[in-house]
Structure 1
């Protein structure tokens, strides 16, 4: 992962939430919210909350007296999430690093994280922090994307943009969001952090958008792929969107379009 991979600033949070969230995140957020809420937890910590997709899905499922702490290291994303949520006295918004959580031991029944673990510089440390803040038999629930080849639109966009920079292709999507899918490694890092009961399932879904251009715009403007492209030539950002649009349209039609997405869903208990 490069330093640019974790920069979600400027207009990225808005495009991320308005285009990318319905494209690939909302269906998995509903699944994650259901997994968290099934045990009727009194206290929940969400790390790497991003633009609040899980927060909006989970908050209505928690009891009136529940404590829900929502965190992200990236303040622009956290501020955007808070602005979308509306008033809810149960929710505490905190800027926090998942590798150094500012909470006491055994503070939460559940720690959850949607598609954030791939960005952690040291996942074992982050998992150790999650376990430290969990009460006995508390659950750590999170998901990560499967390999990019199992996620059709991300692969299409990556390959299309690569043709513009053949000697230095922008590989953000393959490198980071889709770069942590080795189940044996995930189990090893969770075990090293002290988790003993680890369940990992593969969940396949269908990603849908109104048009090929919506998909291309979502990935090129709503993720740090934008940073990758602009670092090479900022003047070619629109060209990259056009190139990705053409590739998706050639394969899936102008729109509406649909493509397979796949993720790993993990439930770990200490």
Structure 2
């Protein structure tokens, strides 16, 4: 093999995401989110915008029985999720579908988890109303969003570098990841969808 070929990355974007980003960062965030939500054995749990399924797998590991479902609109991400082994706990069902029109009946789940997905939905209020719809009365929602980019040094350095080297606006996509950093706006969105007893906590991981 030629030397310049040794460092070529093999695999789809979803495979590379699972191989590199999940162990380095998103698995840590998933453990924190699931710890806060505390799924119980016997509950029905939805991992919304599940990607390659790290949150669903962590939730299943915390449960001796029950149901875990991962929903995502990205076929490639779900293909990787289905290919990975699951540990102890209930089997995970992987479903393809939109957060804005979930393929579930009303009051299907006891707990909805959404890690870093809400800011990317084209209709955030609509997605939250769907989360409320599929939850049982007094069901629980646990979601995470990024803090302000100015409070996230690595992300800000990358965004600034993109603008500096590629031109103004090159970092727009990266900065959009932090578009729900305003606590008041987030509260209004969640409460406006019907949720009550809304609490917010900041965590550096």
User: TM class, shorter-chain normalised?
Assistant: 0.7 to 0.9
- Does the alignment pair 1:144 with 2:135? no
Aligned length: 194
> CA contact under 8 A between 1:118 and 1:144: conserved in structure 2?
yes
The CA deviation at 1:111 is 0.7
Are the structure 2 counterparts of residues 124 and 168 from structure 1 closer, same or farther at C-alpha, using a change threshold of 3 Å? Answer: closer
- In structure 1, the partner of 2:26 is 25
Separation of aligned partners in 1, 2:174 and 2:63: 33
Separation of aligned partners in 1, 2:42 and 2:113: 12
> CA contact under 8 A between 2:22 and 2:54: conserved in structure 1?
yes
Map of 1:208-219 to 2, 5 A cutoff?
none
> CA contact under 8 A between 2:40 and 2:63: conserved in structure 1?
no
Separation of aligned partners in 2, 1:55 and 1:135: 19
Q: Which has the higher strand share?
A: 1
Separation of aligned partners in 1, 2:67 and 2:39: 16
Q: CA RMSD in A?
A: 1.9
> CA contact under 8 A between 1:147 and 1:181: conserved in structure 2?
yes
- In structure 1, the partner of 2:185 is 185
Map of 1:80-159 to 2, 5 A cutoff?
80-86=80-86, 90-159=91-160
- In structure 2, the partner of 1:48 is 49
The CA deviation at 1:38 is 4.7
> CA contact under 8 A between 1:105 and 1:134: conserved in structure 2?
yes
Gaps spanning 5+ residues in structure 1: where?
A: 1-9, 206-270
> CA contact under 8 A between 1:148 and 1:173: conserved in structure 2?
no
Gaps spanning 5+ residues in structure 2: where?
A: 1-10
Deviation readout 1:186-228 (Å, 9 max, x if unpaired): 11111111112101000112xxxxxxxxxxxxxxxxxxxxxxx
Superposition TM-score, scaled by structure 1 size: 0.67
Are the structure 2 counterparts of residues 41 and 141 from structure 1 closer, same or farther at C-alpha, using a change threshold of 3 Å? Answer: farther
> CA contact under 8 A between 1:68 and 1:90: conserved in structure 2?
yes
Separation of aligned partners in 2, 1:56 and 1:49: 10
- In structure 1, the partner of 2:204 is 204
Superposition TM-score, scaled by structure 2 size: 0.87
Say which SS state the counterpart of residue 113 (structure 1) adopts: strand
After TM superposition, the structure 1 stretch with the greater mean CA deviation from structure 2, 152-161 or 30-39, is 30-39
Deviation readout 1:22-45 (Å, 9 max, x if unpaired): 332121111112233354452111
> CA contact under 8 A between 1:56 and 1:85: conserved in structure 2?
no
- In structure 1, the partner of 2:16 is 15
Deviation readout 1:13-61 (Å, 9 max, x if unpaired): 1222222223321211111122333544521111100121212211111
Separation of aligned partners in 2, 1:108 and 1:55: 14
Structure with bigger RCO (C-alpha 8 Å, 6+ apart)? 1
> CA contact under 8 A between 1:41 and 1:109: conserved in structure 2?
no
> CA contact under 8 A between 1:42 and 1:63: conserved in structure 2?
no
